[in-house]
Amino acid sequence: MGKETGFLEYRRVNNGDVPASERIKTFAEFHTPLIAEDRRNQAARCMNCGVPFCQSAMNLGGMVTGCPLHNLIPEWNDEIYRGHDEHAFNRLHKTSNFPEFTGRVCPALCEKACMCGQNGEAVTVHDNELFLIETAFEKGYIKPLKINVRSGKKVAVIGSGPSGLAVADELNHRGHHVEVFEREDEIGGLLMYGIPNMKLDKSVIKRRRKLMEEEGVVFHTGVDVGRDKKSEELLAGFDAVVLCCGAKKARPLAVCDPATDKGVYYAVDFLTKTTKALLTGKDRSVASLKKQGGYIDAEGKHVIIVGGGDTGNDCIGTSIRMGAKSVTAIEMMPKPPVERLASNPWPEWPKVLKTDYGHEEAIHVYGEDPRVYETTIKSIVKDKKGAIKQVETVKVKFNGGKLEYVPGTEQKLKCDILLIAAGFVGCEDYTADEFAVKRGPRGTVLTADDGYHVTNTKIFCAGDMHRGQSLVVWAIAEGRACAKEVDEYLMGYTNL
């Protein structure tokens, strides 16, 4: 433990935020880091508990609390406090392949289980992690790893999201030859085209790609396996094939269809087109975006978003930056309490109201929280050209687990753009069909004995395609665990 009284002496201080009035003018990242002295004080708050729940990943009350990667959090917090940044980074990198991703976009399951959070405020584990990885890149602690011995085994990884990248990184370091096939023009999966730039600048992904290529990983972008490249070729040319294609089959709304209704879009398509337009521009400014074509422009429009998760929040922030006239976010669930209920004690995941950056920006721009709870869309109204112009909403309630409309609560709202951010229902069919893998009720690939190996094949599966829609940190954890199974399959043993 670095400083025995640190948790008593120092209050929690988060990384700063650019004010909403300024950050909505650009798609650049808006968190500002603490100076090194303040960061060391934050690390000094770590108590080095006898039982560090922060690294446990326990399932309590049906939800996980603690880090799925089992990061050695008390160890590297102690090293940060003492100024041993390189040692701290080495302890972090032992369990985490890509802290630059989780340090930006993870909801910090570790902090929800922090002992300091039981009666006060948790340690800034998330911000400390980001400090370590960015310091490591800045000071050259990270160098391409020279792989001296190769196994002669070849592995194909289909999909380059966080699980695919973790599989590739682990197996390449083990000495196998790894080739990654990605259908988009850039690697990263939803890291690249599902998470907006202000949360994760795309240069961060490109930096990691460069490092992995220097270490020997081969990336093939613009190759859509199942269409451009067939399974027979991959199964014949590689000793193992790992499917990491995500769970991108979007959950539809019964009252509309993006394929036929003008002005209705799936949220990921909206975010993807925005990011692609930004990448072709000269910088991250809104002005630069406006000079590009091919994206869905919300300027001057009434935007309604269905879904209250992270993707819905990202759509709010993106629409505001474009200059939307209004933004409304519709959620079916009741509004969570501001503070924990007695039935939701620490260290369970706190089921409390979360006001994220998009909500803060909407409050600044429009003067009120954009979220409407216990509501759904009953129908849509189109103009003479077939474009959406209104939605009819209705209050809902759950009766014995069944969703019911509340009579007399219908309301019509102006709507020029309707974004569906209602989650996903499993992997897309065509790649799974191409490899003839079976899927379960959640649309995810079935594997043997809760592992990652598809029985009696050389096929493995990890990430959202295996687990279902989840977090980046879980995808990385899945990729690491899957790589271990692949290595054992190829070598007869594993030291991963």
Provide the residue count of the chain.
496
Q: Tell the residue number behind the tokens 């009350």, with chain if given.
A: 61
Contact 358, 313 (CB under 8 A): yes
Instruction: Residue 433: count other Cβ atoms within 10 Å of its Cβ.
Output: 12
Shared fold status for 154-249+425-491 and 264-420:
yes
Q: How many whole angstroms separate alpha carbon 103 and alpha carbon 126?
A: 5
Check pLDDT > 90 for residue 450: no
Contact 273, 295 (CB under 8 A): yes
Q: Give the pLDDT band (50/70/90) at residue 1.
A: low
Distances (CA, A) of 163 to 23, 28, 259, 460: 31, 25, 30, 12
pLDDT at 99: 98
The predicted-structure confidence for 199-226, as pLDDT tens digits, reads as follows 999 999 999 999 999 999 999 999 999 9
Check pLDDT > 90 for residue 449: no
* Omega before 196 within 30 of 0, i.e. cis: no
Contact 205, 192 (CB under 8 A): yes
Burial 314-341 (b: 16+ CB within 10 A, else e): bbbbbbbbbebebbbbbbbeeebeeeee
Q: How many whole angstroms separate alpha carbon 81 and alpha carbon 169?
A: 29
Across the range 63-80, mean pLDDT stands at 96
| Average predicted confidence (pLDDT) for the chain | 96
Sequence-separated (6 or more) residues with CB below 8 Å from residue 248 = 190, 268, 424, 427, 428, 464
Report the percentage of the chain scoring pLDDT > 90.
Answer: 95
Across the range 383-409, mean pLDDT stands at 94
Q: Give the pLDDT band (50/70/90) at residue 191.
A: very high
CATH superfamily placement of domain 264-420: FAD/NAD(P)-binding domain (3.50.50.60)
The predicted-structure confidence for 330-378, as pLDDT tens digits, reads as follows 999 999 999 999 999 999 999 999 999 999 999 999 999 999 999 999 9
pLDDT at 51: 87
pLDDT at 216: 98
Burial 267-304 (b: 16+ CB within 10 A, else e): bbebbbbbbbbbbebeebbbebbeebeebbbbeebbbb
Phi, psi of 404 (to 5 degrees): -130, 145
Contact 64, 57 (CB under 8 A): yes
Sheet hosting strand 459-461, strand order edge to edge: 218-221, 177-182, 154-158, 240-243, 459-461
Domain ranges of the chain: 6-139, 154-249+425-491, 264-420
Instruction: Residue 260: count other Cβ atoms within 10 Å of its Cβ.
Output: 8
Side-chain half-sphere exposure of 180, counting CA atoms within 13 A: 31
Task: Look up the pTM and report it.
Answer: 0.96
pLDDT at 385: 92
Check pLDDT > 90 for residue 293: no
> Six-digit token pair at 288?
């630069």
Contact 103, 128 (CB under 8 A): no
The predicted-structure confidence for 146-186, as pLDDT tens digits, reads as follows 999 999 999 999 999 999 999 999 999 999 999 999 999 99
Distances (CA, A) of 333 to 250, 337, 372, 396: 19, 12, 9, 9
pLDDT at 379: 97
Instruction: Residue 404: count other Cβ atoms within 10 Å of its Cβ.
Output: 12
pLDDT at 426: 95
Across the range 276-294, mean pLDDT stands at 93
CATH classification number, 6-139, choose in 3.40.50.300, 2.40.50.100, 1.10.1060.10, 1.10.1740.10: 1.10.1060.10
Name the CATH architecture for the domain at 154-249+425-491. Answer: 3-Layer(bba) Sandwich (3.50)
